[in-house]
Every structure is written in structure tokens, then in C-alpha cells.
Chains A and B, each alone.
Chain A
Amino acid sequence: MFEKNRTLIVIGTVIGIGFVILPFFMEGYWIRVITSIFMYGIITAALNIIAGYAGYAAFGNVVFFGMGAYTTALLMLRLGLVWWTGVLVGGIVGATYAVLLGSAILRLKGPYFAIATLGINRATEQIVINWGSFTGGGKGITLPLPQMEVKDFYGLIYYVMLGLLALTVLANLLVIKSRLGYALRAIRDNEDAAETSGIFAPRSKIMAWCLSAFFTSLAGGIFAYWFSFIEPATVFDISISVKAFVMMMLGGVGTVIGPVFGAFLIELISETIWGKFLTLHMLILGMIMVGVVILIPRGMVEIFKKKLTLAALWNRIKNQSV
């Protein structure tokens, strides 16, 4: 067990250092692609805390991305705050929003919770659109431009996203090893039995969603500063959540590394190949989701853990009853 962990830590560190020195060997386009991969890594790893560990399918988690983005934008524009202060406050606003919402809707189970989160995302988007005098409304809002060289700016965003990704993965690791992690897994497996075992389920679920929202909001804030223009249709776009679900399931639901791994795979393919087939994009994502559910319900991580061969996968296809 310890040996295995040490190998993983060594591999993780090597990959981490690799990404730290990578910008010195790359041009602008690739920096942007990889920054975007990091961003999806954060969103997916954050989603994993509530959807993977606790089993609560927060399909509308993108609402926190939007909240973070708008808080950052408005604080910079209306109050003249520095970008990182805006991002931090955005994180806190998103986390608070999750606590308030969670107290109300985390008592819903299964699909009911998932649908409620979709509704909340939609409602929040509508508030932003209709409160035009403050938020800029449906046509979006432009942030103050950064006072630095474009190349330096993209470098900065790259490292900030990388740092936040590392923190989000670390948070996943700490959660799963902790009392909270065991409570969440027990809740996912059997909430009633968890409660009679002394676990305060509402408290644990709210805590999980709060953490998930915090990291998602931070990513949204950084995104707003990075793109310097945001509109409701972009930052509350449900396909961000859908994509995060596909990534999480492809990589490995409820594992520490899986979701990030899935994000890298999908976003890399998405940016390099599917960018050329805009309409086919969602179709292929859907097909991947179906394939994953049938073939490797526990994600790519399962292939490595159980050393599944192609023959074993083929057997799973054959054994599917229709």
C-alpha cells in the first residue's frame, strides 16, 4: 500500500515538474490549449467531490463557475479590485451559495437532486441576464485588460490554473483519506445505513458541495480574467457540466486521479481534433459516455487497476443483455 502510494507520488511530482517547465518550450496556441485542459481538470476534480464521492449528481455545478466568473468581473469593474482578490471572493461567494442551496436541495435524492441543480443554474443565469444594470445583462461584460505583455499574461494564467489544479487534486486526496471522505462514501453506498451508523448526512453533503463549489468558482474567476469578456450563455453553459461528467466517468468516478486523467484525454482530443467538427462534437461526447457506462463503468482507472485486457472488454460487450 505504502509502496504503491510512493510510486504514485513520484509519478505525480515528475508530471508536475514537467508542466512547470513546459511553457519554456511551447508557443502561444499550445499554452492556451493546456491552460484550458487544466481548467477542465479543476472543474472535473471539484465535481468529483460531490458527484463521485458522495454520489450526488450535481449536473448544474456550472452555476458556481458562472458565479465565480461574474463575481470576479463585477468586483474588478465596479470596485476596482485586483484580479486575484476578485477570484478569491468569487470562490467564497460560490461556496456560500452552495451551503445555502445545499441546505435546501441536498435532501433530494437521485435524479430529483440532479434536476434541481439544473433548475438553479438556469434561474441564476436568468437573474444575471435580467439584472442588466448591475451585471451587464445578456450581452455580457468586459473586464479591465491586464497591464502586461500578452505572452506574460498567458504564462501567468497557465501557472495559476496549474497551481489551482494541484490544490484541487490535493483537496480530493485529503477528503478521501479523511473522516469526511468515509462519511461521503457511506452516504453514496447507503444513506439510511450511514445515518444509523452515526453519520450526519446533511452536514457531510453540504460540506462536500461547498468544497466542490469553492474550486469550481475559483476556476470561473480565473476564466473571466483570462478571457476578459464573459456572457451568461458562456459561463452558465450546461455543456461545461456535461463535459465534466463525461471526463469524470471516463477517467474514473470517485477516484483521485481518474477525473483529472479524463479531463486531459477529452480536452486534448476536443481541442485538437473535434474543434474542426463543431456539430459532431456533442454527438461524439454522448457516444463516449454510453461506451464508458457499458464497458468501463468505473472509468479508465479500472483498466489499470484490474489490468483489463482487450479480450476482457470484448467479453463485457458480448455479455450486455438488451
Chain B
Amino acid sequence: MEGRSVSKHFGALKALDGADFHLEKDEIVGLIGPNGAGKTTLINLVTGVHALTGGEILFKGKKISGMKPPAISRFGIARTFQIAKPFSDMTVRENVLIGSLFGKNGARRSTGIALREADRWIEYVHLQDHRNGSVDQINISLRKKMDLAKALAMEPDLLMLDEVMAGLNTKDIEEMMHLVTRINQEFKITVLVIEHVMKAVMSICHRVIVLHHGRKIADDTPQGIVNNDQVIDAYLGERYAKSRGKSR
């Protein structure tokens, strides 16, 4: 995926202001930056939820900016939401089914086959005990897993995870980190993770992009990022840098 001088203005607010970025196939890329830096806006532009003010976005060599959200999803891009947006009147199983029924290969599937697919993904993220539970009965950690299973059921080539670890406890974060790495290796899915949990970003990402005020201020390996003065000033902070043994 590639974005060329991508801009999104909401009135006078420049949520994204001419950002260039690219994702190679099979990469796990972290997208970090302070609140309001434009991270979620970027995902919303890629998935077609918002229209671009300027620039263009390409995926698999094709221009996707301007396409409708469902068309982009079926072209191979799936996302999870920062605040999980489950279909609240459906069971866990039906939520995941929506992914396998309307994702990349969904149109060729009967509902019966799509249900079997959904079950496969539910087991993959270890949700089988809650399969027939209703969404409002499960906790946030399970809900994030369900969101992930639904996105996986769409069989994307690019998966964008919007703060999938926020609100999870240490053990759940570990499990989620392991899952994301496994997904990337096993299915050759390119992953873009927006995350504030730096431990996770550092250990699972191959590369990290830093946004600040709608602009890209750094694009480097995780190691390079934590030693980047501009990033420390804008986001990580003096204390984080010190804890990693960097002195200025």
C-alpha cells in the first residue's frame, strides 16, 4: 500500500497534511503519535470512510482512494475499531460470519460454508467458548478478539488494527501480540498497528511510522525511532527515553 501526499482537512483542522507512507507486503508496521496526530484519520481514509482532501492512496498497484468502503474491503483491506463496533443484536458467531460472508471471498460462499469459516476463525482466536454468546455479555478483551476474528474472516491482504490492545491487561496484551505476529507469518498478511502500548510496538513491528500534527516526522526501525529526538519530543517523552538508557 502506498499513500502519496495524503491530506484530510476537517474545516480548518488539518488532520492529515501531506503525509507520504508506504507498506511493503508481509510487513508489520507500527503507526504511532500523540492523540490527534491523524492516525485513525489515516485508517478512515484508507478504508474509504472519509474522502481525501488531497493526494491519493494505492493498494496492490491500484488507486483505491475514491472507491466505496465495501468495495475497498472486498479488495482485501480489513480493519478493527478503536472502540469496538460490534453488531450488538447478533451473537459472537454471527458477528464473525459477517466477515466471512462479505469479505474478499464472501460473494462466492453460501451462508453454510461462511458459517464454517467463521467457526474456524473463532477457534483461531480462542473464542469458541463464547461462540453463541451475545456481544453485550462479553468483556472488552473478548470483544477485541471477536473484532479481530471478524477482520481475519474477511481474508484481507492488509489488516489495520486500531488500538487493539488498549484496555487489555498484561496477559491479554501478550496474547494479542503473539496473535498478531502469528497472523503475519502464517497468512502473509500485511499489518498496520496503531498502538500506544510501546512495548508491543517495539517487539512486533518491523518498522514504525510516527505522525505528529498530520505530518510524518519519522519512518524508521523501532530501534531508530526510540533514539529519534524529534519523536521523543513529540510523543515518547524524556522519561521513556531515559528508561531506555538514552541520554541527551
**Which of B49, B89, B103 makes the CB contact (< 8 A) with A197?**
B103
Q: Complex formed: what's the CA distance from A211 to B238 in Å?
A: 62
Closest to B87 in A: A189
- CB of B68 within 8 Å of the partner chain: yes
A173 to chain B, nearest CB (A): 14
**Which of A177, A188, A199, A201 makes the CB contact (< 8 A) with B98?**
A199
User: Is A198's CB under 8 angstroms from B88's CB?
Assistant: no
Q: Complex formed: what's the CA distance from A186 to B150 in Å?
A: 13
Interface stretch of the complex, out of B53-61, B73-81, B164-172: B73-81
User: Is B89's CB under 8 angstroms from A188's CB?
Assistant: yes
Closest to A193 in B: B85
A190-B87, A193-B85, A193-B87 in contact; A198/B111 too (CB < 8 A)?
no
Contacts of B150 in A (CB 8 A): 197
Q: Complex formed: what's the CA distance from A189 to B78 in Å?
A: 19
A185-B89, A189-B87, A189-B88 in contact; A197/B98 too (CB < 8 A)?
yes
User: Is A199's CB under 8 angstroms from B87's CB?
Assistant: no
User: Is A190's CB under 8 angstroms from B106's CB?
Assistant: no
**Which of A178, A197, A200, A254 makes the CB contact (< 8 A) with B99?**
A197
Closest to B75 in A: A198
Q: Complex formed: what's the CA distance from A186 to B104 in Å?
A: 17
- CB of B97 within 8 Å of the partner chain: yes
A75 to chain B, nearest CB (A): 39
Interface of A is mostly: helix
- CB of A320 within 8 Å of the partner chain: no
- CB of B237 within 8 Å of the partner chain: no
- CB of B101 within 8 Å of the partner chain: yes
User: Is A196's CB under 8 angstroms from B69's CB?
Assistant: yes
- CB of A281 within 8 Å of the partner chain: no
Per-position binary interface string of chain B over residues 39-77, scored 1 when its CB falls under 8 Å from any chain A CB and 0 otherwise: 000000001110000000000000000001111011000
Q: Complex formed: what's the CA distance from A178 to B115 in Å?
A: 12
Closest to A192 in B: B49
- CB of A194 within 8 Å of the partner chain: yes
A27 to chain B, nearest CB (A): 45
- CB of A183 within 8 Å of the partner chain: yes
User: Is B85's CB under 8 angstroms from A195's CB?
Assistant: no
User: Is A198's CB under 8 angstroms from B89's CB?
Assistant: no
User: Is B88's CB under 8 angstroms from A193's CB?
Assistant: no
Most buried by B among A182, A195, A197, A254: A197
Per-position binary interface string of chain A over residues 269-287, scored 1 when its CB falls under 8 Å from any chain B CB and 0 otherwise: 0000000000000000000
Contacts of A179 in B (CB 8 A): 101-102, 111
User: Is A201's CB under 8 angstroms from B101's CB?
Assistant: no
Contacts of B101 in A (CB 8 A): 179, 182
User: Is A196's CB under 8 angstroms from B74's CB?
Assistant: no
Closest to B106 in A: A198
User: Is A198's CB under 8 angstroms from B102's CB?
Assistant: yes
Contacts of B90 in A (CB 8 A): 185-186, 189
User: Is A190's CB under 8 angstroms from B70's CB?
Assistant: no
Per-position binary interface string of chain B over residues 99-119, scored 1 when its CB falls under 8 Å from any chain A CB and 0 otherwise: 101111010000100000000
Contacts of B103 in A (CB 8 A): 197-198
CB under 8 Å from chain A, chain B span 106-140: 106, 111
Contacts of A197 in B (CB 8 A): 70, 73, 98-99, 102-103, 150, 154
A245 to chain B, nearest CB (A): 19
User: Is B49's CB under 8 angstroms from A196's CB?
Assistant: yes
Closest to A190 in B: B85
CB under 8 Å from chain B, chain A span 183-221: 183, 185-186, 188-190, 192-201
- CB of B17 within 8 Å of the partner chain: no
- CB of B94 within 8 Å of the partner chain: yes
User: Is B68's CB under 8 angstroms from A200's CB?
Assistant: yes
Contacts of B74 in A (CB 8 A): 198
CB under 8 Å from chain B, chain A span 101-145: none
User: Is A186's CB under 8 angstroms from B49's CB?
Assistant: no
Closest to B88 in A: A189
User: Is B70's CB under 8 angstroms from A200's CB?
Assistant: yes
Q: Complex formed: what's the CA distance from A189 to B88 in Å?
A: 6
Q: Complex formed: what's the CA distance from A254 to B87 in Å?
A: 15
Q: Complex formed: what's the CA distance from A137 to B101 in Å?
A: 49
Q: Complex formed: what's the CA distance from A178 to B97 in Å?
A: 12
User: Is A186's CB under 8 angstroms from B111's CB?
Assistant: no
Q: Complex formed: what's the CA distance from A195 to B47 in Å?
A: 10
A29 to chain B, nearest CB (A): 42
Q: Complex formed: what's the CA distance from A182 to B89 in Å?
A: 11
List 18 A–B pairs whose Cβ atoms lie within 8 Å, in order of A's numbering: A178-B111, A179-B102, A182-B98, A182-B101, A185-B87, A185-B89, A185-B90, A186-B87, A189-B87, A189-B90, A190-B86, A193-B85, A196-B48, A196-B78, A197-B98, A198-B74, A200-B68, A201-B70
The 4 closest A-B pairs by CB, nearest first: A198-B102, A189-B87, A198-B73, A193-B85
- What is the interface of chain A, defined by CB distance below 8 A to chain B? 177-179, 182-183, 185-186, 188-190, 192-201, 254
| Extra 8 A-B pairs, beta carbons < 8 Å, given A189-B87, A192-B49, A196-B73 | A179-B102, A186-B90, A189-B89, A197-B70, A198-B99, A198-B154, A199-B102, A200-B71
